[in-house]
Amino acid sequence: MAGRSVRVPRRGSAGTQSRGQLAAGRDLLAREQEYKRLNEELEAKTADLVRQAEEVIREQQEVRARPFSALTTSCKEEGGSSSRDLLSSEGTHPWTETKC
């Protein structure tokens, strides 16, 4: 018995796996690739939405940073309303540019 070697079968070797296991492994790899592709698309869309949100926030901050007199002057120049109209109760505010 001293000269004999004991052969231990390896688990997971390609020769011992069934065709079903190989097919299942390929299916999992394909699904993983698809999930990675979808994730990349989602990340790109998310980055675009974040960029758009930052742009809107920046624009709002610029409008709010303007003095009130500059807002009423720009409205008058555009043929808009008086400052009384800007402060009316129609739901508009002096910091929004929708009334002009």
pLDDT of residue 89: 47
pLDDT reading at 38 higher than 70: yes
pTM over 0.85: no
Residue spans of alpha helices (H) in the chain: 19-65, 68-77, 83-86
> Based on the domain organization, do 82 and 61 belong to the same domain?
no
| Domain co-membership, 55 together with 89 | no
Is 23 in the same domain as 61? yes
12 is a domain residue: no
pLDDT > 60? residue 58: yes
Distance CA 29, CA 35 (A): 10
pLDDT bracket for residue 19 (50, 70, 90): confident
The whole domain housing 49 covers 18-65
Give the chain's domain count.
2
In this structure, are residues 68 and 94 in contact, taking their beta carbons and an 8 Å threshold? yes
